[in-house]
Amino acid sequence: MGKTTGFLEYERKDGPVREEKERIKDFLPFHGELPEDERRKQAARCMDCGIPFCQAGMMIAGMASGCPLHNLVPEVNDLVFAGRMEEAYRRLSVTHSFPEFTSNVCPALCEAACTCSLHGKSVATKENERAVIEYAYAHGLVTEPAPEKRTGKKVAVVGSGPAGLAAAQLLNRRGHEVTVYERSDRVGGLLRYGIPNMKLDKKIIDRRVRLMEEAGVRFVTGADVGRTVSAEELTGEYDSVILACGASNPRDIAAPGRDAKGIRFAVDFLSEVTKTLLDSDMKKPPVELVKGKDVIIIGGGDTGNDCVGSCIRLGAKSVTQLEMMPKPAEERTAGNPWPEWPKVLKTDYGQEEAIAVFGADPRVYQTTVKEFVKDAKGILKEVVLVSLEAKKDKASGRMQMVPVEGTERTVPAQLVLIAAGFLGSEQYVTDAFGVERDGRTNVKTVPLAYETSKPGVFAAGDVRRGQSLVVWAIAEGRNAAKAVDTALMGYSNL
């Protein structure tokens, strides 16, 4: 696949990006594309490695290695190398519902497992994938086929994030009548409101949704299932229901002063920013939320990084990102060999922008908030930080991060964003359907069948597996669609 000696002849080269101090002036995407000849060279680096871990999607040491969708990465790269972009799109579409989403927001599990990364830099598979799907859209290749014949079966999908969209896509192609219920005012779930526009342009979601609507998928927005729409209504009207409503129960920070005004959950903040931008046609960023404020972001993951980038664009006076765990190593350690997911330091776009604007990495490791300090009016004015160290818990035997006495220090803060992850499914939804949950409050399903404890009700995505990646959600949605189809028809050709 690719060019046998390509990885020796060509260095990895990513597409151009706008300079940090320029791109923070707006919320527009800042990644550019390589010209075709350079893109073909990047695809040529995909060597005939024998065992393509990039497409394995298997768990190693509790971490995913390779693509959960099992995209046939070497085949796609080979077609890009040969300049056969239409065929590359056809090959990619066999396993993938939405390459336009993952090629923008996925952390590239395929690249982490790439054989080239063992002794050098991986193949730029993520950017190659984006080049393929954008070529396909530009040349009218992306269509959503309407079924020639309907089965007479009806399916409701609760949630329009990547899992719900993937399930709806395949079930509609099969011929079932599919209705997707979304509690927000626009379709997309966390793709829409949990990811900033500069990372995933919302026009990318809109163009795919339009194709699905034209093919017969019905979308109902402003429908909060379990509240404004009853579970009984759906189970009575539809032959099957898929819960794909995410793990949207945010993890809180239990510290004194938590009731201070100026403390928000990160996704609520990101949602408000994106909604304001969309409502104003990208003309009125809500600078009043952040401008001139010292911002503390609790959480070192992708959502925390998105908050860093968003706050810089909205005029923050300072931005500090707290990470409970120690700073990762610069390179793989002996205990983290390839093709495991590399537990190494990653500096993302938001942190790059903070370095450019403020002159330093915003991340502070092994640190958390001990207390929120408010003024006489109950408004946040400071936070007390404390350092953490790893100690073994005597009861469980597990290592835990615990405060270090005497390391407290007080810093100014008028806005705190909690990006500490999610605890699982929202109880009002699971209670409404009467489905069982596991110990982590995720919806419990029959192994490999995606069916919940209530017959006819299925679950997919974060609501079933817990907070995860977009690529996992798409894989879950596709697998759940097959399970539903089998339950309805006795077999499945999906």
Q: Region 268-274: what's the mean pLDDT?
A: 98
Short-list 2, 18, 1, CA closest to 10: 2
Using alpha carbons, list the distances in angstroms from residue 334 to 112, 280, 343, 399, 434: 16, 51, 11, 20, 47
Q: Which pLDDT value is given to residue 125?
A: 97
Q: Region 380-384: what's the mean pLDDT?
A: 98
Q: Which pLDDT value is given to residue 333?
A: 95
* Average pLDDT in the chain: 96
CB count in 10 Å sphere of residue 257? 18
Short-list 441, 476, 432, CA closest to 223: 432
User: Amino acid letter at 254?
Assistant: A
Q: Region 77-96: what's the mean pLDDT?
A: 98
Identify each DSSP E strand in 375-446 by its residue range: 380-392, 399-403, 409-412, 415-418, 422-424
Q: Which pLDDT value is given to residue 307?
A: 98
Tell me if 198 sits within 8 A of 314, measured CB to CB. Answer: no
Q: Which pLDDT value is given to residue 168?
A: 98
> Is the predicted pLDDT of residue 2 greater than 80, yes or no?
no
Residue 151, class by beta-carbon neighbours within 10 Å (0-12 exposed, 13-18 middle, 19+ buried)? Answer: middle
Using alpha carbons, list the distances in angstroms from residue 80 to 53, 249, 376: 19, 41, 63
Domains defined for the chain, CATH in brackets: 6-138 (1.10.1060.10), 154-248+423-489 (3.50.50.60), 252-420 (3.50.50.60)
* Spatial distance between the Cα atoms of 401 and 122, rounded to a whole number of angstroms: 33
Q: Which pLDDT value is given to residue 130?
A: 98
Q: Which pLDDT value is given to residue 297?
A: 98
Q: Which pLDDT value is given to residue 447?
A: 83
Share of the chain above pLDDT 70, in %: 100
Q: Which pLDDT value is given to residue 3?
A: 85
Cis? peptide before 147, omega within 30° of 0: no
Tokens of 411: 């810093």
pLDDT band at residue 143, thresholds of 50, 70 and 90? very high
- Is pTM, for the whole model, over 0.75? yes
> Is the predicted pLDDT of residue 1 greater than 80, yes or no?
no
* Spatial distance between the Cα atoms of 47 and 45, rounded to a whole number of angstroms: 6
Q: Which pLDDT value is given to residue 357?
A: 98
Q: Which pLDDT value is given to residue 345?
A: 96
Tell me if 315 sits within 8 A of 288, measured CB to CB. Answer: no
pLDDT band at residue 218, thresholds of 50, 70 and 90? very high
Q: Which pLDDT value is given to residue 113?
A: 96
The string of pLDDT tens digits covering residues 175-200 is: 999 999 999 999 999 999 999 999 99
Short-list 448, 31, 423, CA closest to 199: 31
